[in-house]
């Protein structure tokens, strides 16, 4: 089989070459480059692709030539419009190193009979690790103490004075029990916590619930009983699922964490409950408007830990993804095992 891989600022050419060296039965034809070499400009391109789809930008011109004899196409952010697929009469699979599919014309792929394998889990471990980090940083005042000491202050009075607890024996509520929710559950095992999860797409017989000692509950139970609520959901229609009702259920000693999507949460009401100290604190990785400006109320609040939406941005989440996709494809071809993320 022959493959063409498209590199970009995040998905380096070396990642593809290192991967394909493990699969001598796959010939790497070419590795054209898509987009800018500037990180900031590539972030803008990614944003425009998510909003504008596969026709927001043109693929690299040379890709149309190199793909003619390809059986496989692997991309990250590179657009895959109908015309590119039609230029590849031998194309059997499209593999994409990301969860979002906005850069691929799925309707055209379906009509042309080209299955698509994507990888929503490519940055799952990175986000799960950050989630555990934020649980500790916010509840134990790590960033507040750091900032104070950097500014010459030995600070001991914090917004959660009298509420500084260890994770041990606390209840952690996970809103969403998909890839990242499961990874968070796995990483919480040594902390001896009670784990609750709510997810309309998960049934009580899901084996991972028992594997990680997770109780599947309704949303009201989760919000009212959890000491830390952590969001790991994603909705196709970009619906808000956490607002006044849910925040009003939370304990005054509780902490709220969002490393998922800002649209899921009523941030205006979250600001109110934090300002009025109706919950103890929050840790936020995502925001309705990014980058976050100094005029944001969350910048002014002392009971919030902020990170800049880079929770899934590690070298590993990009470098390990191509091999995952190739192995999933081979498992499908050789063993008939349908990949978890597969679109026909």
Helix (H, G, I), strand (E, B) or coil at 16: helix
Q: Is 138 a catalytic residue?
A: no
Whole-angstrom distance, CA of residue 127 vs CA of residue 182 = 11
SS3 65: helix
Q: Which two tokens stand for residue 308?
A: 């800049």
Asked if 122 is an active-site residue, the reply is: no
Burial (0-12, 13-18, 19+ Cβ within 10 Å), 8: buried
| Token duo for residue 247 | 């925040």
Q: Are strands 281-284 and 255-258 parallel, antiparallel or unpaired?
A: parallel
Which residue, among 2, 126, 10, has the nearest Cα to 75 in the 3D structure?
10
Of 140, 163, 278, 309, which is the active-site residue? Answer: 309
- Report which of 307, 304, 303 is spatially closest to residue 290, judged by C-alpha positions: 307
The CA distance from 63 to 6, in Å, is 8
Cα 95 from Cα 224, distance rounded (Å): 42
From 309, 297, 267, 282, select the one nearest 143 (Cα to Cα): 282
Q: How far is CA 283 from its chain centroid? A: 16
Q: Is the dihedral of CA 51, 57, 63, 65 positive or negative?
A: positive
Encoded tokens for 69: 């004899």
Q: Is it true that the peptide bond before 58 is cis, omega within 30 degrees of 0?
A: no
146 classed as catalytic: no
Token pair, residue 35, equals 């987009």
Q: Which of 17, 82, 194, 261 is catalytic?
A: 261
Distance CA 161, CA 277 (A): 12
Looking up tokens 């797409």, which residue turns up? Answer: 201
| β-strand partners of 117 | 95, 342
Q: Which position among 153, 166, 290, 344 bears the catalytic label? A: 290
The residues carrying an active-site annotation are 261, 290, 309
């Amino acid at each position: 089989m022959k493959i063409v891989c498209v590199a970009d600022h995040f998905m380096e050419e070396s990642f593809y070459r290192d991967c394909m060296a493990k699969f001598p039965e796959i010939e790497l034809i070419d590795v054209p480059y898509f987009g800018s070499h500037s990180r900031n400009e590539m972030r803008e391109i990614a944003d425009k692709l998510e909003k504008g789809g596969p026709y927001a930008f043109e693929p690299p011109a040379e890709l149309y030539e190199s793909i003619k004899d390809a059986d496989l196409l692997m991309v990250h952010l590179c657009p895959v419009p109908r015309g590119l697929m039609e230029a590849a009469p031998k194309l059997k699979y499209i593999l994409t190193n990301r969860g979002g599919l906005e850069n691929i014309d799925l309707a055209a792929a379906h009509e042309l009979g080209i299955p698509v394998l994507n990888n929503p889990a490519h940055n799952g471990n990175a986000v799960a690790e950050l989630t555990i980090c934020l649980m500790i940083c916010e509840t134990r005042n790590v960033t507040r103490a750091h900032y104070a000491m950097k500014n010459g202050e030995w600070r001991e009075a914090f917004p959660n004075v009298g509420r500084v607890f260890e994770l041990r024996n606390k209840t952690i509520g996970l809103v969403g029990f998909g890839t990242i929710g499961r990874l968070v559950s796995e990483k919480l095992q040594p902390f001896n916590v009670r784990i609750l999860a709510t997810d309309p797409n998960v049934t009580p017989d899901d084996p991972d619930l028992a594997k990680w000692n997770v109780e599947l509950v309704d949303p009201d139970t989760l919000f009212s009983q959890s000491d830390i609520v952590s969001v790991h959901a994603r909705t196709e229609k970009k619906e808000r699922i956490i607002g006044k009702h849910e925040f009003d259920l939370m304990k005054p000693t509780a902490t709220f964490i969002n490393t998922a999507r800002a649209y899921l949460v009523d941030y205006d009401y979250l600001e109110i409950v934090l300002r009025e100290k109706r919950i103890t604190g929050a840790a936020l990785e995502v925001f309705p408007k990014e980058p976050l400006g100094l005029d944001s109320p969350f910048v002014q609040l002392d009971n919030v830990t902020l990170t800049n939406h880079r929770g899934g941005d590690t070298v590993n989440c990009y470098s390990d993804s191509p091999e995952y996709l190739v192995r999933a494809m081979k498992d499908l071809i050789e063993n008939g095992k349908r990949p978890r993320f597969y679109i026909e």
